[in-house]
Structure 1
Amino acid sequence: MTVATRPERRPNSPFFSSGPCAKRPGWSLQTLENAFLGRSHRAGGGKAKLKAVIEKQRALLGIPDDYRIGIVPGSDTGAVEMALWSLLGARPVTMLAWESFGSGWATDVVKQLKLKDAEVKTADYGDIPDLATVNWKNDVVFTWNGTTSGVCVPNGDWIAADREGLAICDATSAVFAMDLPWDKLDVVTWSWQKALGGEAAHGMLVLSPRAVERLESYTPAWPLPKVFRMTKGGKLIDGIFKGETINTPSMLAVEDVLDALDWAESIGGLKAMIARTNANAKVISDWVAASDWAAYLANDPAIRSTTSVCLKITDDWFTSLKAEDQPKAAKELVALLEKEGAAFDIGHYRDAPAGLRIWAGATVETADLEALMPWLDWAYATLKNTFQK
């Protein structure tokens, strides 16, 4: 353990929360000056901005032209729930869960929808289910990146090209930071407040032609609330996927995400976003390799997230604490960093093992992560010395 000497340099932007995430570099309230306020979102100007959100993301992410893209209520959660309640039940379903959000989707399917042909494959925090055993005759629901566990799928090779079921992917901490194989995915969801650093409340829902076919040929046995309905008279409500939102969106949030998308375009698009994320993740990786008290929650490098990086504390002093005292000590560590203005909101998710969770997406500057690492050592040494006195 290094001597607890307070570092001289703090991160210029100490925002490392895993959601809502850091705003893009150089952001200010002035970027919202042209927001379409005091007008109907259904007016020409409002619809144009909403459509621009869709088309800019299509272009940046390389989403196929025949895939439908909609802006929906309720952030990523709303988008996932729309997919689950509207599409599932036509065939057996496999739920993959290795962190809290995937577990939540499995609970909805088993206990709310009460689907009898539901298989749930789970893994503990830091691990992932055996993807080779997935039956693609089933619909399959999974998170690409487990935000609360720091575990992501290694690639899309495990998804069958000739699948009979739908691949339904919650990609909210992966999109704009990792390559997604769109031809392997039928439903993809995300939110603006993750990798784009946008404001919350709205979600994105992408449907492949196969998913649209399911919507138009299958009617669930349960009633659907208005905000979930994507068809009328057996046909897709086309307007939803042209910016005609189901409910009233925040045009301030729309202006904010347009600014984030413009920034992403200006730095070089998706390739640059991924490169920035990987550079950030490497800063943490290099620090972990030299650390005598912290390690990745995900043991296998092939499944380690480059965005929501989850760390566990391995030091003997910490692991010797009672199980109920470890989360308390981890929270004190986080509080110390916040008090010093070195890092905000980097505590472990409430259901995850005690430790740290650091967002390393593209809106975070690499220099800020480099400045943060010495503060982690200082804070842990300070915490340990305080407890041992």
Structure 2
Amino acid sequence: MTNILTRPGLKPARPFFSSGPCAKPPGWSADKLAVDSLGRSHRSKIGKQRLNYCIDLMRDALSLPDTHRIGIVPGSDTGAYEMAMWTMLGARPVTALAWESFGEGWVTDAVKQLRIDPVVMRADYGRLPDLGAVDWSHDVLFTWNGTTSGVRVPNGDWIAPDRAGLSFADATSAVFAYDLPWDRIDVATFSWQKVLGGEGAHGVLILGPRAVERLESYTPAWPLPKVFRLVSKGKLAEGVFLGETINTPSMLAVEDAIWSLEWARSLGQGGLIARSDANAAALDRIVEQRDWLGHLAPDPASRSRTSVCLTVAGADEALIKRMAALLEAEGAAYDIAGYRDAPPGLRIWCGATVDTGDIEALGPWLDWAYAQAKHAN
């Protein structure tokens, strides 16, 4: 182990390992953003053009079929997912899967806010519930990649192709990092601030044809806030999916997302996935070489390749805070403490905007911070 008095010689060039907002893409700088749309109405010709271009770029980067619509909505991923829940749930029974804090948040919304009494299938942090036991006559709520637990569903095979209910995938740490089976996903949500390294506050809502059918054939029993309304006179408000946003977006955030999406397009979906995979593999090697580090998710098949959550031997919340503070003070790693509701540990973002060399350079600094933090205990 690194001597506690000796700092490693090489620092990550970009020590941005936060799980949201995440690292900007390599080469990003604010002066590279287009600015002609700034100071203009989002309803102006240029505003609509840029919003629609952003949607087209997302479709290309995700290889999304024409059957699915894409809308930019308020409230980040949370707003997008709640918009889907509030507008479509209640038509049939609901099953909610929860194995980390955001999944539990959707359970809370369903139980306490919408009062629909869902079937709840839970698992501890680091594990999945029995996906084979899901009843697909129900609408099913789940997170594709649990950002706070480092656990993901291994694939879409467990989603019934002949399902009667709708699949609602919170995919915010999954899109652009996995090859998602869009024929199995009726509703997906995400935000630009994750794998794209974009800005917060805006969410993206993706609707498959079965979700559109639900919206046009079902009216919820509860009132809908204006920012959730996707239907007008019994028909889908198509403008929302053509860049005519429900409320005023930040055109600066849109231009930032466009820059990141153009970067993503230059790599292609395969390139984005390869970068995330290489980063996760580099972090795996770091863990394998240290007996004091482990994965919160023990099964590699369901272990996240973006928000990787690590256990630390003998750690409590105070030790993790000391490690994170030491690394931040040295400019070696920012924002790597685990999520506040998760077991004490580290969380290191391995999405496509991170460079593998920076993950590799992080290992000795983790040794140093762990030794320093334990020595101060």
Bucket of the pairwise TM-score, normalised by the shorter protein: over 0.9
**C-alpha displacement of 1:32:** 2.2
Give the letter for the 2:179 counterpart: D
Is 1:287 the equivalent of 2:283? no
**C-alpha displacement of 1:35:** 4.5
Matches within 5 A, 1:2-21: 2-4=2-4, 5-21=6-22
Instruction: State the distance in 2 between where 1:7 and 1:382 align.
Output: 13
**C-alpha displacement of 1:219:** 0.2
Q: Could you say what secondary structure the match of 2:40 adopts?
A: coil
Instruction: State the distance in 2 between where 1:269 and 1:35 align.
Output: 27
Map of 2:308 onto structure 1: 309
Contact 1:212 1:236 in 2 (8 A): yes
Contact 2:192 2:202 in 1 (8 A): yes
Q: Which 5+ residue runs of structure 2 have no aligned equivalent? A: none
**Residues 28-81 of structure 1, C-alpha deviations (whole Å, 9 max, x = no match):** 111224241111111111101000111111111111102111000101000000
User: Alignment partner for residue 338 of structure 2, among 330, 341, 348?
Assistant: 348
Instruction: State the distance in 2 between where 1:106 and 1:386 align.
Output: 40
**C-alpha displacement of 1:2:** 4.4
**What TM-score do you get using the length of structure 1 for normalisation?**
0.95
Which stretch of the first structure deviates more once superposed, 288-297 or 26-35?
A: 26-35
Map of 1:368 onto structure 2: 358
Is 1:331 the equivalent of 2:332? no
**What TM-score do you get using the length of structure 2 for normalisation?**
0.98
Map of 1:173 onto structure 2: 173
Map of 1:152 onto structure 2: 152
Give the letter for the 1:203 counterpart: G
Matches within 5 A, 1:1-389: 1-4=1-4, 5-116=6-117, 118-266=118-266, 268-314=267-313, 318=314, 326-387=316-377
Q: Could you say what secondary structure the match of 2:285 adopts?
A: helix
Give the letter for the 1:152 counterpart: R
Q: Could you say what secondary structure the match of 1:368 adopts?
A: helix
Q: Could you say what secondary structure the match of 2:253 adopts?
A: helix
Give the letter for the 1:349 counterpart: Y
**Residues 172-214 of structure 1, C-alpha deviations (whole Å, 9 max, x = no match):** 0000001100000000000000000011111110101100000
Give the % identical residues.
Answer: 64
**C-alpha displacement of 1:386:** 2.4
Q: Could you say what secondary structure the match of 1:259 adopts?
A: helix
Contact 1:96 1:141 in 2 (8 A): yes
Q: Could you say what secondary structure the match of 1:205 adopts?
A: strand
Contact 1:186 1:210 in 2 (8 A): yes
Instruction: State the distance in 2 between where 1:185 and 1:337 align.
Output: 39
Give the letter for the 1:384 counterpart: K
Q: Could you say what secondary structure the match of 2:317 adopts?
A: helix
Contact 1:35 1:252 in 2 (8 A): no
Instruction: State the distance in 2 between where 1:18 and 1:38 align.
Output: 31
Q: Which 5+ residue runs of structure 1 have no aligned equivalent? A: 320-325
**C-alpha displacement of 1:3:** 3.0
**Residues 282-306 of structure 1, C-alpha deviations (whole Å, 9 max, x = no match):** 1100111111101000011111000
Q: Could you say what secondary structure the match of 1:107 adopts?
A: helix
Q: Could you say what secondary structure the match of 1:200 adopts?
A: coil
**Residues 120-156 of structure 1, C-alpha deviations (whole Å, 9 max, x = no match):** 1011111111000000000000000000000000111
Instruction: State the distance in 2 between where 1:38 and 1:17 align.
Output: 30
**Residues 212-256 of structure 1, C-alpha deviations (whole Å, 9 max, x = no match):** 000000000000000000001110001000000000000000100
Q: Could you say what secondary structure the match of 1:80 adopts?
A: helix
